Amino acid sequence: ANKLRSTKTAASFAMGLVNAEDGKVVTRFPPEPSGYLHIGHAKAAMLNQYFAKMYHGKLIIRFDDTNPSKERTEFQDTILEDLQLLGIHGDVVTHTSDHFQILYDYALQMIKTGKAYADDTEQLQMREERMNGVASKHRNDSVEDNLAHFAEMTQATTEGLRWCLRAKISFENPNKALRDPVIYRCNVLPHHRTGDKWKVYPTYDFACPVVDSIEGVTHALRTNEYRDRNPQYEWMLKALGLRKVYIWDFSRLNFIYTLLSKRKLHWFVDQGLVRGWDDPRFPTVRGIRRRGLTVEALQQFMLAQGPSQGFVSLEWDQIWATNKKVIDPVAPRHWAIATDKMVPVTLTNGPSAPEVKTLPKHKKNPDVGEKKTVYTSTVLVEQEDAQSFEDQEEITLMDWGNAIVRSVTKDAAGTITAITMDLHLEGDFRKTKKKITWLAQPSSPHALAPIVLLDYDYLITKKKLEENDDVKDYVTPQTEFRVDAVADANVADLKKGDIMQFERKGYYIYDGEVDGKKEFICIPDGRAASLASKS
Ligand code: ATP
Ligand code: MG
Ligand code: MG
């Protein structure tokens, strides 16, 4: 299936962009600095970079900062950091606000050429009129009146604040995006870059085509939910006599059980339902990286998505499966045992003193390094494994050899409290059904490391929230699962952010130490849900 997908990708991209000339293509990624980047933004950014590179052109990172109510410098800085992390390197960083004067002059031009008019119709009524194809009462105001009202807007006078500027395209076009969209509105809040210089700001619908054109963008990549707005984008450029920009639609990325809207993500942060924007439950670039998704897997996945036009919500499985292929060959192997009810095993003929052996951290990849495994005459095994042993069963202690279960002690509740085994190192490990991870007793010279295994559930209980659904009604009550465990002391080698595997448990990313315990976040691998969340 993977081979098929890559062939399909190559074929779709071979079609490339229309009218693209090598060396002359300019694309842009235009985030609004109103939140942190999420996985949907990552797709847009990666596709833009992909095409800029493919044609040896240029990528512009443009902050689309036209709404002082939502935007902050803090977000701009973190967006730049996240782009770095994603391996996205723009050739230039620009701001829509760099062009406020030009945009303003173009707005004046629109008024003077009769292509824009000022309107003070109430917001609700305007929405209704646009819906029903009714012309505004100001649609045919004179240029002088419009200029006067726009001047009031520019000063943000009491009168001016009641008005907005609309493009005069049509009031009844079947495409509602063409029904005289608003192109300028007042905002008296200070702008994070231009301060209080401006009281009027262009809307996205106006600023985007104009700035694309004047910044030299040749191909504007837009998510296809804007497709209805494409004719409007083209209209603006024509109305101002500006250079044409080619639009290339791609499908907006959506995942099941996942919110990809900055507004809703803000809500989760504000409610304290997550620990912050980098919470491993979050679909932000920071969140998914903290959860163990690699940039390489993200890139492979996004490019495989390519120009598909589907509106469906994707499962997370596929991206995690892609990630697993990236991390499996390099993830060091360690062992961990859940502390709750772990079972001491006495090996009657075990080593009289602790022995230490040097073993590879990854059996198939010596480059991953070496670890020390301690062999003692009493070892610890997981309760769950112990429960599966049959009387006199021969099992395999991994990285050691076979052992035969001789006696099992249980308490009244059926919990196994002790086991005795005979080592049977001549036994053939290929003939045993159970290969068990184990750990040397903590009293051995190489102490065990106390750790916490963390796993997470989706934040919402519904696959796809509809327009009218209130997020509040779909918050998953418990989304974090913690299991105390011990691990082999070699985990001391790990640095925060390292990806590894606890054998027979799954892949984890080391998230740092809290209260003397190393915390590990389970990385989904695209298969069944992991141990921690189900226990
Ligand atoms: P949000 O709803 O999260 O605020 P947005 O589209 O308003 O998203 P912007 O910062 O304006 O956020 O988006 C920057 C770019 O990223 C835009 O070109 C937009 O089309 C693209 N983008 C945003 N969300 C997605 C997504 N889910 N899939 C693909 N591209 C996306
Ligand atoms: Mg936007
Ligand atoms: Mg949005």
Measured CA to CA, the distance from residue 261 to residue 275 in angstroms comes to: 18
62 lines ligand 1 (CB under 6 A): no
* pLDDT at position 478 over 80: yes
Taking residues 152-171, what's their average pLDDT?
98
Rounded percentage of the chain residues whose pLDDT exceeds 90: 88
Looking at residue 305, its pLDDT comes to: 79
Ligand 1 atom nearest to 223, measured from its CA:
20
Contact 256, 463 (CB under 8 A): yes
64 lines ligand 1 (CB under 6 A): yes
Other C-beta atoms within 10 Å of 413: how many? 7
Measured CA to CA, the distance from residue 297 to residue 90 in angstroms comes to: 21
Write the DSSP assignment of 118-138 as a string of letters.
Answer: EE---HHHHHHHHHHT---TT
Reported in sequence order, the residue ranges of 53-97 that DSSP labels E, i.e. its strands, are 58-63, 92-95
Considering the domain architecture, whether residues 216 and 358 belong to the same structural domain is answered as: no
Q: Which residues contact 128 (CB under 8 A, 6 or more apart)?
A: 134
pLDDT band, residue 9 (cuts 50/70/90): very low
Q: Which of 250, 277, 311 is the last residue of a domain?
A: 250
User: Any idea which residues carry the catalytic annotation?
Assistant: 32, 252, 262
Per the domain annotation, does 285 fall within a domain? no
Residue 43 structure tokens: 């797709």
Considering the domain architecture, whether residues 483 and 340 belong to the same structural domain is answered as: yes
Considering the domain architecture, whether residues 231 and 368 belong to the same structural domain is answered as: no
**Which helix (DSSP H) or strand (DSSP E) does residue 510 occupy?**
strand 506-514
Considering the domain architecture, whether residues 218 and 102 belong to the same structural domain is answered as: yes
Probe target for ligand 1 pocket from 223, 248, 249, 467, with the most ligand atoms within 8 Å of CB: 223
Reported in sequence order, the residue ranges of 41-153 that DSSP labels E, i.e. its strands, are 58-63, 92-95, 116-119
Which pTM value belongs to this model? 0.90
* pLDDT at position 11 over 60: no
Per the domain annotation, does 298 fall within a domain? no
- How would you label 493-522 residue by residue, b for 16+ Cβ within 10 Å and e otherwise? ebeeebbbbbeebbbbbbbeeeeeebbbbb
Measured CA to CA, the distance from residue 86 to residue 82 in angstroms comes to: 6
Per the domain annotation, does 465 fall within a domain? yes
Taking residues 468-474, what's their average pLDDT?
95
Per the domain annotation, does 278 fall within a domain? no
Considering the domain architecture, whether residues 208 and 341 belong to the same structural domain is answered as: no
202 lines ligand 1 (CB under 6 A): no
CA distances from 472 to 165, 280, 466 (A): 36, 20, 13
* pLDDT at position 497 over 70: yes
pLDDT band, residue 531 (cuts 50/70/90): very low
Instruction: Domain count for the chain, please give it.
Output: 2
98 lines ligand 1 (CB under 6 A): no
Per the domain annotation, does 185 fall within a domain? yes
What's 7's domain CATH number?
3.40.50.620
Task: Determine the distance separating the centroid of ligand 1 and the alpha carbon of 13, expressed in angstroms.
Answer: 22
**Which helix (DSSP H) or strand (DSSP E) does residue 421 occupy?**
strand 416-424
Probe target for ligand 1 pocket from 41, 80, 305, with the most ligand atoms within 8 Å of CB: 41
What's 448's domain CATH number?
2.40.240.10
pLDDT digits (tens, 9 = 90+) for 40-72: 999 999 999 999 999 999 999 999 999 999 999
Ligand 1 atom nearest to 253, measured from its CA:
28
Q: Which of 250, 279, 297 is the last residue of a domain?
A: 250
* pLDDT at position 374 over 50: yes
Q: Which of 188, 219, 250 is the last residue of a domain?
A: 250
- 3 state DSSP class of 4: helix
Per the domain annotation, does 283 fall within a domain? no
223 lines ligand 1 (CB under 6 A): yes
Provide the domain limits for residue 501: 333-534
Task: Determine the distance separating the centroid of ligand 3 and the alpha carbon of 32, expressed in angstroms.
Answer: 9
Per the domain annotation, does 206 fall within a domain? yes
Q: Mean of the per-residue pLDDT values for the chain?
A: 93
Considering the domain architecture, whether residues 364 and 245 belong to the same structural domain is answered as: no
Write the DSSP assignment of 179-210 as a string of letters.
Answer: B--EEEEE--SPBTTTBTS-SEEE-HHHHHHH
Considering the domain architecture, whether residues 359 and 239 belong to the same structural domain is answered as: no
Considering the domain architecture, whether residues 77 and 207 belong to the same structural domain is answered as: yes
Per the domain annotation, does 396 fall within a domain? yes
